[in-house]
Amino acid sequence: MRSVTVTLDEETFAKARLRAAERNLSVPRFLCEVLAEELRQGDAYDVAFRAWLAVPSFALKGAPQTYPKREELYDRALLRRR
């Protein structure tokens, strides 16, 4: 573990202290968990973005195609009205 010094304003520190107490954590441990979660979410976003970029795009050239009918797009039992 590395040690880091952080400067917080009084209001932010009070809120962090309260949230840490609610989870039975010290303020430094709480901040460590918050930062770790933020970084995990950022990593998950990057992975999802790269996966999206890996899907080949479709060509906009060629003969025009008709759009699918609404019934074809929404032909699911959950969405049908009774």
Question: pLDDT of 6-62, one tens digit each?
Answer: 999 999 999 999 999 999 999 999 999 999 998 888 888 888 899 988 988 777 788
Number of domains forming the structure of the chain? 1
- Using left for φ > 0, alpha for ψ between -120 and 50, and beta otherwise, residue 24 falls in left
**What is the pLDDT, as a whole number, of residue 32?**
94
Indicate whether 81 belongs to any domain. no
Residue 78 lies inside a defined structural domain of this protein: no
Q: Mean pLDDT over residues 68-82, rounded?
A: 70
Report the predicted TM-score, pTM, of the whole model to 2 decimal places. Answer: 0.56
Domain range holding 68?
A: 10-73
